Structure 1
C-alpha cells in the first residue's frame, strides 16, 4: 500500500495475491477496491467480493464486514487503485519504453504505425487500444480503449515478462480523468488532434482538453518526449504542458517534421518528409490527408528514437491498414465500398472530404450517431454528411437505451441546413447498407461510417452481433447473384 494515504479500520495485515475492482473477478486473498461507478457503486458488492475470496477491502467510506476482513479507508479509491496496481505488478512500465497516444481521432492508426516501425526496427512491441491488447500472438479484448489500472498494469507486466521492448497504448480522456494511467512511466506521448467528442461526459471542450493535457503533464515526472500536432489549434496548450523535449509535426513549415507534396488516391498516399537536414519520400497504402497526419506522428516519434529513414519508409510501405479504418470491402463490384470508424464530427468530415477527393462520381454515405452520448454533435454530423455527400442514408448506430428514431430526429435538422440536401432515413442498419449498395452505379463510392471494426450493435442492454464489413460483403454477393 506504499504511496496511498489511508486509515486502517480493522483486520490483520494481509499478504495480497491479486487486486480487483469487480467482485465477480475477485479471488482468494485479493484486495478488493470499491470504485464508485457511473451506474453502480463497488461499495455495494463488498460482501460478494469477500465471499469470492477477498481478505482486504479498500473503500471510501466505512463498510460492515467480519473482523477477519481488513478494511482500509482512503479519499479517492480510483487514485488508490492505480497506485496499488502499479505496486502489485512491480511498476512494469519502468522496465520498458511506454508510448501513450491521445487525441480525438487517429489514435488507433497512429499506434499501429508506430508498432509497425518499431517491429521493423527489431523491437518487440505490445499494443493496447480500441481494437485489442496484443503482445506476440497473445490477444486480449478489454472492451474499451483504455481499461482500468489493474488490467493495464497486468498487461504491461506481460509485455515485460515476454521481453518486450516497447508498449504503445491509446490513452482516452476518460482514462486520464479517472486515474487509470496515473502510475505509468511514459517515455513518449503523442497528441493527434482535438475536436468535439465526449461532451456528454466532459461538458465542455475546455474540460475535455484539460484531461488530454494530463498525459503530457506526466512527462514532467518522467523526462519523456512530447510529439505534438503543430497544425492543431490546441497545440499551444499541449506545448505548455510538456517538458523541454518536444517534437512537432504537421503540413506547415513551422513544424519540426513536415510533409510536403501530398498526393492521395484510392490506391494509397505519397508525400515527402522534411526534418532538419533530412528529406525522404513516403509511399503508403494508407489513404487520405488524415492518414498523413497519423503517419507524420509516427514518423516524428521514430526520428526522435533514432530510427533511420529507410526503415521508416519500408514499414509504412508495407502497412496493411488497420481494421475498420477506411477499410475497403471488395467483392469485384464496379464501385467502391469503404467501412470506417468515423463517429465524431471531425472524423466524419475527414473521411467524407477524402471520399469526395477520391471519386468523380457519387458519394453515398451511411451513418448514424450513438445513443446515450453527446447529443450536440448529432446535427453537426448531419450537416457534414449533407455537405460532402451526394446522398445520405441516416440509420442506427449503437442506440443503446435511446430510441433510434429520436436520435435521428436530432440528426435531421443538420441535414436540412444544407440547401439541396438529399437523404433518407432507414432505421434498420442492415437495410440501410443494402439500400446504399443496390443504388450504387459504376464509379460511385459508398462510405459506411461509425462502427468500423465493431462486430456488434448495442441496443437497449443487449449486444447484438453486427459487422458493417460482413453485412456489406453479404449485400454485394447477393447483388451479384441477382
Structure 2
C-alpha cells in the first residue's frame, strides 16, 4: 500500500487517498504501467515534473512531487514531499522489503580506489566462505554471478531492486561503490549501512559539483548521516581524511602509511612481484602492486577487522587477493620484454599515483611511455594537468582520445596540450586515434621499457557522438604484442 511506502518520507501535503495498492515504482515516465507510482525527480538534464501527464496516461495512480502540477486528475493521489530524490530512496527501500537490513552493507567512496576496494572486499569475503554481493563501476555480482553495470551507483529504484535480488540470494555481505553523484542525487537514501570507507579526494567531477568545496561537502554528507551502530573508516594521510568523519555518529577508524592509526601499514618492498608490507606489525606479502594499492589494502583490512574477521585469517586470505579489472593490469611481451600497463587513471592524482609507482618499479634505464587522454563533455580544468603530470613522469607522452562523447577530439587535445611546457613538447605528440596512439607507443618501446595506457581501464568501448564502439585497451595491447612476435 502507498501508505506503508511513505513511512519516514518528509510529506508536506496529500491530495487523494494513500490507501491504494501500488504495483511498481518508477522515476522514468516511459516505464510507468498500470497501478504504479511515479516519482517526479528533478534531474541534471530533465525534470520529472514535466512528464507527470505522460505517467498518468501510462497508468500511474500515485504521483510524488515537490510542486503540484497545475492540472490535477480525479482518482489520482498526489503527495508533495520535501525532496523527491530522498522519497524515491526511502520508498524503494520499503517496496523491496528493506533489503539492506537483511545483510551487512558496506559502502566505499572517494575519488580513486572505490572499485578496487569494493571488489577486493567482495573477493575477500567470498574467499572466506561468505555469500556476497557487489555493486561497482565494472560489474555487479550476486553470489558469484556477474551482471553488467551501467552506472557506478544505480538509481534508487534499480539499486533497491538489485539489493533485493542479493537478499533473495541469501547474501550475507554486500559491498558497493558510493559515488558523489549518487550521494548528491539521493540514490542511496534509505539504505542501512553497516560501514562506510573513505579512500581519498582529489580534483574530479567539477563539471558536476562546480567547486571542490562542494565536492567535499557531498562526500562528507554521507558520513554525517551514518548511525551510531555503523563504523566509518578514513584515510588519515589524505588532507580531508579527518574532516570526512568529524561529524559522524558512527564509530571512527583510520588507516595510514605515514602516521599512527588504527590500521597502520609500512611498505618494505614494492615490485612487479607484489607488495611486501608490515600491517599492524605483521609481515605480509600481497599480490597487488604500488603505494596506492597499499592504501587500498589497509582500507580492506580495516573493514575486515570491523566486520569481525580474525586478524590472522584476514591477512592470509588478503595476501592472495587480486585487484579489479583495468586497475594496474600488466602484461609483458615475449621477446622484447616490454611491460604494458593498463589503468583506469582518469584524474591527475590517479595518474600521478600510477606513474610514481612505475618510477619505483624501474630497476635501470627503462623508458616510460605514457598514452593518455581525457573524456569529452566533462571537467575541462583537469585536462592540462593530466598532460602536465604525464610529461613530468614519462620519457615519451602520446596524448590521445579517451571517450570524446560529443566533443571534437581535437579540441580536447588542444586543452591537454596547454599543460605541456616548451621543454616537454619535444617528447610529446598528439594522435587522436586511440588505436594508432597505442600502436605508436609500442613502436617507440624497446626491451624492458614500460608502456602505460591510462584512462579507460576496464571499459570495453569508446563513446563517440553517442555511439559506443568496441574498444578494449588491454586487448589492443595484447594484440599489438602478438604482432611483435610475427
Per the shorter chain, which TM-score range?
Answer: over 0.9
Which range is displaced more, 320-329 or 133-142?
Answer: 133-142
Shift of the alpha carbon at 1:12?
7.4
Shift of the alpha carbon at 1:45?
2.9
The alignment status of 1:295 with 2:297, answered yes or no, reads yes
Alignment match, 2:23: 17
Shift of the alpha carbon at 1:343?
0.2
Alignment match, 1:172: 179
* CA distance in 2 between partners of 1:33 and 1:25 (Å): 12
Alignment deviations for residues 385-426 of structure 1 (CA, whole Å, 9 cap, x no partner): 000000000001111121111111111121226657511000
Alignment match, 2:129: 122
* CA distance in 2 between partners of 1:126 and 1:51 (Å): 37
Alignment match, 1:320: 322
Matches within 5 A, 1:196-235: 196-219=203-226, 221-235=227-241
| C-alpha RMSD of the superposition | 1.9
The answer as to whether partners of 1:379 and 1:410 remain within 8 angstroms in 2 is yes
Alignment match, 2:395: 390
* CA distance in 1 between partners of 2:423 and 2:243 (Å): 34
- Give the alignment partner of residue 336 of structure 1, picking from 336, 339, 347: 339
The alignment status of 1:56 with 2:62, answered yes or no, reads yes
- Give the alignment partner of residue 373 of structure 1, picking from 375, 378, 388: 378
Alignment match, 1:437: 442
Shift of the alpha carbon at 1:73?
2.8
The answer as to whether partners of 1:345 and 1:380 remain within 8 angstroms in 2 is yes
The answer as to whether partners of 1:36 and 1:43 remain within 8 angstroms in 2 is yes
Which range is displaced more, 303-312 or 174-183?
Answer: 303-312
Matches within 5 A, 1:137-156: 137-156=144-163
* CA distance in 1 between partners of 2:287 and 2:279 (Å): 16
The answer as to whether partners of 1:100 and 1:170 remain within 8 angstroms in 2 is yes
CA gap 1:225/1:12 in 2 versus in 1, 3 angstroms = closer
* CA distance in 1 between partners of 2:94 and 2:80 (Å): 18
Shift of the alpha carbon at 1:26?
2.7
* CA distance in 1 between partners of 2:248 and 2:81 (Å): 30
Shift of the alpha carbon at 1:119?
2.2
Which range is displaced more, 111-120 or 170-179?
Answer: 111-120
Shift of the alpha carbon at 1:65?
6.2
The answer as to whether partners of 1:345 and 1:384 remain within 8 angstroms in 2 is yes
- Give the alignment partner of residue 360 of structure 2, picking from 338, 357, 368: 357
Alignment match, 1:188: 195
Alignment match, 1:90: 97
* CA distance in 1 between partners of 2:270 and 2:137 (Å): 26
The answer as to whether partners of 2:138 and 2:149 remain within 8 angstroms in 1 is no
The answer as to whether partners of 2:228 and 2:251 remain within 8 angstroms in 1 is no
Shift of the alpha carbon at 1:22?
1.5
Alignment deviations for residues 303-331 of structure 1 (CA, whole Å, 9 cap, x no partner): 22231233223322322331100112445
* CA distance in 2 between partners of 1:336 and 1:320 (Å): 19
* CA distance in 1 between partners of 2:422 and 2:24 (Å): 55
Which range is displaced more, 444-453 or 326-335?
Answer: 326-335
Alignment match, 2:118: 111
* CA distance in 2 between partners of 1:139 and 1:59 (Å): 35
Which range is displaced more, 237-246 or 125-134?
Answer: 237-246
* CA distance in 2 between partners of 1:107 and 1:205 (Å): 19
* CA distance in 1 between partners of 2:33 and 2:144 (Å): 27
Question: TM-score by structure 2 length?
Answer: 0.93
CA gap 1:15/1:138 in 2 versus in 1, 3 angstroms = farther
Shift of the alpha carbon at 1:60?
2.7
Which range is displaced more, 334-343 or 40-49?
Answer: 40-49
SS of the residue corresponding to residue 328 of structure 1 reads: strand
Question: TM-score by structure 1 length?
Answer: 0.94
The answer as to whether partners of 1:386 and 1:421 remain within 8 angstroms in 2 is no
* CA distance in 1 between partners of 2:389 and 2:146 (Å): 36
CA gap 1:252/1:461 in 2 versus in 1, 3 angstroms = same
